[in-house]
Amino acid sequence: MTRTFVLAFLAGVALVAPQTAVAPLAAQQANMSFYDFKTMSLDGKPADLAQYKGKVSLVVNVASKCGYTPQYEGLEKLQREMKGKGFNVLGFPSNDFGAQEPGTAQEIATFCKLTYDVTFPMFEKVVTRKGTAQSPIYTFLGSSGKLPAWNFSKYVVDKRARLLLSSKAASRPKTPRCVP
Q: Which residues of 133-172 are buried (b: 16+ CB within 10 A; e: fewer)?
A: ebbebbbbbbbbebbbebbbbbbbbbbebbbbbbeebbee
Whether 66 is catalytic: yes
The residue annotated as part of the active site, out of 63, 66, 137, 164, is: 66
Residue ranges with strand state E in the chain: 38-40, 46-48, 56-62, 87-93, 154-157, 163-166
How far apart (Å, rounded) are the C-alpha atoms in residues 135 and 133?
A: 6
Torsion angle defined by CA atoms of residues 62, 150, 100 and 80, in that order, rounded to the nearest 10 degrees: -20
Task: Please give the positions annotated as active site.
Answer: 66
